[in-house]
């Protein structure tokens, strides 16, 4: 099944935000290793902000998918046989 362009764009945006979060987390860990505690504390705030942004957008995307699935008609099934009459 081919995804619409908007879904692909959202997926790319999430991938980019994930990469940014990974970079920010790496920077935080580097500051910790270097015992640059003030910088690490500041970087923690940036890292957590990136994580919150990524989670918010991920939840939004999942909600859209669920809403779209709920709007689809149920898959067609073979007609059921009428109950036998006595």
DSSP-assigned letter for residue 35: T
Note if the pTM is more than 0.75: no
Provide the pLDDT confidence category of residue 19 given band limits of 50, 70 and 90. Answer: very high
Contact (CB, 8 A) for 21 and 51: yes
- Residue 79 burial by CB count (10 A; 0-12/13-18/19+): exposed, middle or buried? exposed
% of the chain surpassing 90 pLDDT:
58
Domain ranges within the chain, ordered by starting residue: 11-69
32 to each of 16, 25, 29, 70, 78, how far by Cα in Å? 25, 11, 5, 46, 62
């Amino acid at each position: 099944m081919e995804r619409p362009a908007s879904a692909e764009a959202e997926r790319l945006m999430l991938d980019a935000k994930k990469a940014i979060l990974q970079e920010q987390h790496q920077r935080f860990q580097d500051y910790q290793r270097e015992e640059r505690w003030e910088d690490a504390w500041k970087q923690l705030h940036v890292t957590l902000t990136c994580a919150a942004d990524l989670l918010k957008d991920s939840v939004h995307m999942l909600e859209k998918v669920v809403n779209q699935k709920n709007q689809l008609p149920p898959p067609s099934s073979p007609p059921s046989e009428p109950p036998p009459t006595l």
